[in-house]
Structure 1
C-alpha cells in the first residue's frame, strides 16, 4: 500500500536560523515525506548562509522570494524600506558563492499535481504582489490547476477557500481544518523567520492531500539569541525587537 503523502510547508525564513531549527524539530515529530518553502530565505535576520545551507541539507523544496531576488540584484532597492535594505546589503556581502548560486536557481513557482508553490501572488509571481484580498486570491486560484496553492510574503497566515458552485471565496484563520475533495484553496503559510500576526511563535503548515487535512502548528524558539546576533551584525535594532512581539 502506498504511504499517504504528508507535506510540511514553511513560510518566509529570513535568515533566522533559530526559528528554522525549531520548526524542523517540530516537523521531525510528524510523519512528513516532503518539506516545502515559499521563499525569502534571506533578508532581515543575521544568518543567511546558515539558513540557506540548512535548507539544502534538508532537501527543502523552495521557490524564490523578493528578498532572494534582491540579494541577487534582480529587484530595485527602491522596492524596500531602509531596514530591509540594510539587511539585503549586508547579506550581499556575507553570502557565499555556493549559496548565491543556489538562490539564483530557485524557480518562481512549482506546479505539482497536489499543490502550487509560489511566494506572493499569481499570475505574475515576478511582481511579488501581496495575496491578502479576494481579487488577489481569485487571480491566483485561476492560474493553477491543483487543489491548493501555498504562498507567503505577508507573514500572516490566512486561508482563502473556493467551494464548487460558489463564485464567492470564503476566508478564515482556522489552524486545523479539512479541504473537501471538490474544494480548492490558496493558503498563506505565514513566516517562521519573522511572524507578523502578533504571535511570535514560528508557524509550520502540514498538508495531507489524501485526507485534505490542513494543520498550522506553532513553536517557540530562542528569540533572544537571534536578537543578539542581529545587534552584533550591526543591523537596525527594530529587526530584532519586532521578533519578540510578532509584528
Structure 2
C-alpha cells in the first residue's frame, strides 16, 4: 500500500528538516510532498533546498518563495521577515532561486491536493480567515483530501453532505473517514506555532486512510544559535522555543 509523507513550512531550519527526513525514512514512505515556504526565517535556506531536492520531495510554492520574485508582495511582509527574505536571496545560488520561484501553486497526486495556503491554489490566504466560510472553500476543489500549510498550526475540517465540522489534529493516528471530505492543516517543520516546539509532519496510508501525525524533536538550540550568529532578527530564534 502506498504511504505518503506531507510536510510544510521548513523555513530554512536544517536541523529540523534532517530529523524529519530521518524519521520519515523509518516510516517507509513511497513519496513525500512539501507545501512551500522552504525558506525564510531560518539560517540555512540553501542546505534545506539541497536536501529536499536531493531526496526527491515534491514541493509547491509558498508565500516566502513568492516574496523572492514579487517586490509588491514582499512589501506586505513585516519588516524583519522582509529583511530576512532579502538576506535569503543573497544566501542561495542562482540555480536554487530559479528552482524555488518555478514551483507550482498546487499539486494533485494520489487523489489528494497539496497547496500552501488555501485550495485550490492560493499561496497567500490563511485558512483561519475562512473558518465561517468553509462550505464555500470545500466547493472550490474536487479532491476528497486536501493538505494545507501556511498557518504553522494543526487542525482538520470535514465536509459531509454540505455540513462542515472542525476537529483537532493530535499526535498519532487519525482516520480520514471514507465518504467524507477532509481539509488538513499539516503544521510546520521549521517554526511550529501550535504550542509544541517539535517539528511536525504527517504520513498518510492511502489504503487504510490513516493519517499519522509525527512530532519530531530536533536540536533547537543549534538552529537558534545560528540565527543569532548570522545577525538575523532574534525573534526568529526565540519563536522556535
TM value normalised by structure 1: 0.92
CA pair 12-199 structure 1, distance change in 2 beyond 3 A: same
Whether contact under 8 Å (1:112, 1:146) holds in the other structure is: no
Q: 2:77 aligns to what?
A: 80
Distance in 2, matches of 1:24 and 1:137, equals 32
Whether contact under 8 Å (2:204, 2:212) holds in the other structure is: yes
Flag structure 1 segments of 5+ consecutive residues without an equivalent: none
Q: 1:219 aligns to what?
A: 216
Q: 1:40 aligns to what?
A: 37
Query: CA RMSD, aligned part only?
Result: 1.5
Q: 1:177 aligns to what?
A: 174
Distance in 2, matches of 1:168 and 1:140, equals 10
Q: CA deviation at 1:135?
A: 4.1
Distance in 2, matches of 1:143 and 1:23, equals 31
Question: Which of 107, 112, 126 is residue 130 of structure 1 equivalent to?
Answer: 126
Q: CA deviation at 1:123?
A: 4.1
For residues 24-58 of structure 1, the C-alpha deviation after alignment (integer angstroms, 9 at most, x for no partner) is: 01101112000101100010000110011111000
What are the residue-to-residue correspondences of 1:1-247 with 2, within 5 Å? 4-73=1-70, 75-123=72-120, 125-126=122-123, 128-132=124-128, 133-135=130-132, 137-163=134-160, 165-175=161-171, 176-244=173-241
For residues 114-140 of structure 1, the C-alpha deviation after alignment (integer angstroms, 9 at most, x for no partner) is: 2001000134515x1101243454343
Flag structure 2 segments of 5+ consecutive residues without an equivalent: none
CA pair 139-107 structure 1, distance change in 2 beyond 3 A: farther
Distance in 1, matches of 2:59 and 2:67, equals 16
TM value normalised by structure 2: 0.94
For residues 42-94 of structure 1, the C-alpha deviation after alignment (integer angstroms, 9 at most, x for no partner) is: 10000110011111000000100000111223652221112211210100111
Whether contact under 8 Å (2:157, 2:164) holds in the other structure is: no
Q: How many residues align?
A: 239
CA pair 124-55 structure 1, distance change in 2 beyond 3 A: closer
Q: CA deviation at 1:168?
A: 2.8
Q: CA deviation at 1:113?
A: 4.3
CA pair 107-124 structure 1, distance change in 2 beyond 3 A: closer
